[in-house]
Amino acid sequence: MLKYIFTGYIESALSCAEYDKLEDGTFFGRIALCKGVIAFGKTLKECEKELQSTLEDWILVGLRLGHHIPIIEGYDLNKGPSHEPMAAV
């Protein structure tokens, strides 16, 4: 099955997510491999959605600023495009 690198990375990172139910009944989620990617939600579903949104923003900002993005399950977002420029064709 063809998988896009960005989508594959997000799915792999989210599969590593850890969730906890807090004392007040809300939820906390984090992805330990992606330092600073945390989220909170009133329900587990809300927390999962918020964590995905936070992860997407974290990746985009990190790439824009030139930060190293951790490799997860073989997905390496630090590599440049693997295609040749149109001028070379």
Q: Which tens digit of pLDDT belongs to each residue from 1-13?
A: 456 899 999 999 9
Q: Which domain holds residue 51?
A: 15-67
Question: Where is 87: in which H helix or E strand?
Answer: none
Q: Is residue 79 part of a domain?
A: no
- List the one residue out of 1, 11, 23, 13 whose CA is nearest residue 70: 13
CA–CA gap between residue 17 and residue 40 (Å, rounded): 13
CATH number of the domain to which 63 belongs: 3.30.160.250
Number of folded domains in the chain? 1
pLDDT tens digit sequence for 28-85: 999 999 999 999 999 999 999 999 999 999 999 999 999 999 999 999 999 865 655 5
**pTM, two decimal places:** 0.84
Q: Is residue 76 part of a domain?
A: no
